Amino acid sequence: MHDENMRFENLRENLKHIRNLNEQNTTAKFGLTPFAAMNLTEMRKRLMPVNYVPDRDLDLASPPATTVGTSDDVGPYGGSVFDVSLFNKLESWFVRFGFAPRSSGYSPTASQPETTTVPSTTTETVQTTVPMNDTVDYRTKGVISAVKNQGSCSSCYAFAVTGMLEALNLQAATPRNLSLSEQQLVSCDSGSDQCAGGRVASSLRYVIANGVVSETTIPYTGENSSTCPTTDSSLAETYNLNSAEYFKATSWTYLEASETAIETHVRSTGPVIIWLELPLELMYYTGGVFEFPNCTANAIGTHFALVVGFTEEAWIVKNSFGTAWGDMGYFYLKRGANVCSMASYPVVVTL
């Protein structure tokens, strides 16, 4: 009961900010998400450190020289962001405060000019024009796996990697519908800091060298681990890893730091992993096209996610916060504005 009362008090305070956001924004909507009843400290524990920025030279080196966080900063994993029954109670309370019930299915389609200026918020060179034309959505092609939930572990790097590999396997000449193990990457990639964050580059290097097994073989716990199942003989036997099938990638690389490069790859080849600075406002996002003028100054953490398509005005991004967040687990970032530095470190993979 104490936890429930605390959640309601957090929600009461956060509602003020959510109301202001809806009054100030015309293209995005904000409301009840699994984060709406959390305080700022709790939210930060689910994100990468605010000062983490990928380093192309470091990431392309072998092995990586540093990790990104402190594992003591994270709490236990609860299976979802928090209890589903409590979330349902919060939703009914949310409606009583005058907010509309959650809805889904938003699809931005408004037309845009031929080119748009892209202000860069990082030291990376970001191309300044982005062509705006037609739509690509890999969800409609049946090659995007289900949205997952990283819980209270800052493991977005692992979910971005498995989401990419799952999509590539569904695009292959002989498609395979896989759900791959994020926990293996969290527990076994020595270049990550487990639930305190990690590097997509390091996880991909691990996958290329060792492969990754299915989710059913090594299930997700969202917790730090003192041992890696694939290198611990007793755990290997427990998980039946001697007979497990390992899925590997061949290579990975950074694209040019531009939205044009991302569009070209998405149009011709497939999804792209992106890194972005996450402002508090995005934690309350429920739909529409998100545009924020200064993510760098207002970021509460950093995050990896997967671009799975685009419309004329927005990037379609698959997240790892579960389907109770955003638009059924997805969000739309305004194209042509390098929103939250999303074009700075795009990563692509080859099977």
Catalytic-residue membership of 188? no
User: Which of the four pLDDT bands, split at 50, 70 and 90, describes residue 96?
Assistant: low
What per-residue confidence (pLDDT) applies to 139?
Answer: 96
What is the b/e burial string over 67-98, where b = at least 16 CB atoms within 10 angstroms of the residue's CB?
bbbeeeebeebeebbbbeeebeebbebbeeee
Catalytic-residue membership of 265? no
Half-sphere exposure of 103 (CA within 13 A, CB side): 8
pLDDT in tens, 145-173: 999 999 889 999 999 999 999 999 999 98
pLDDT in tens, 170-223: 999 899 998 999 999 999 999 889 998 999 999 999 999 999 999 999 999 999
Residue spans of the domains in the chain: they are: 2-350
Catalytic-residue membership of 5? no
List 153, 156, 188, 340, catalytic entry: 156
List 10, 169, 319, 338, catalytic entry: 319
Cross-strand bridge partners of residue 303: 276
The percent of residues in the chain predicted with pLDDT above 70, rounded, is 78
CB 327 within 8 A of CB 103: no
What per-residue confidence (pLDDT) applies to 117?
Answer: 28
What per-residue confidence (pLDDT) applies to 9?
Answer: 85
pLDDT in tens, 280-304: 999 999 999 999 888 888 889 999 9
CA–centroid distance for 339 within its chain: 15
Work out the burial of residue 29: count CB atoms within 10 Å of its CB; fewer than 13 is exposed, 13-18 middle, 19 or more buried.
Answer: buried
Q: Which residue has the tokens 């002989």?
A: 174
Whether 70 shows a pLDDT value over 80: the answer reads no
CA distance 309 to 144: 10
* pLDDT: which is higher, 307 or 120: 307
pLDDT in tens, 219-277: 999 999 888 988 888 788 888 888 889 999 999 999 999 999 999 999 999 999 999 99
CA distance 322 to 259: 26
- Residue 166 has φ and ψ, to the nearest 5°, of -65, -40
Cross-strand bridge partners of residue 314: 334
CA distance 162 to 151: 16
Q: What pTM was estimated for this model as a whole? A: 0.83
Q: Which residue has the tokens 């392309």?
A: 60
List 195, 303, 338, 340, catalytic entry: 303
What per-residue confidence (pLDDT) applies to 78?
Answer: 24
Q: Is 114 helix (H, G, I), strand (E, B) or coil?
A: coil
CATH superfamily of 2-350: Cysteine proteinases (3.90.70.10)
C-alpha pair distances (Å), 32 with each of 286, 287, 325, 333, 346: 7, 11, 8, 19, 30
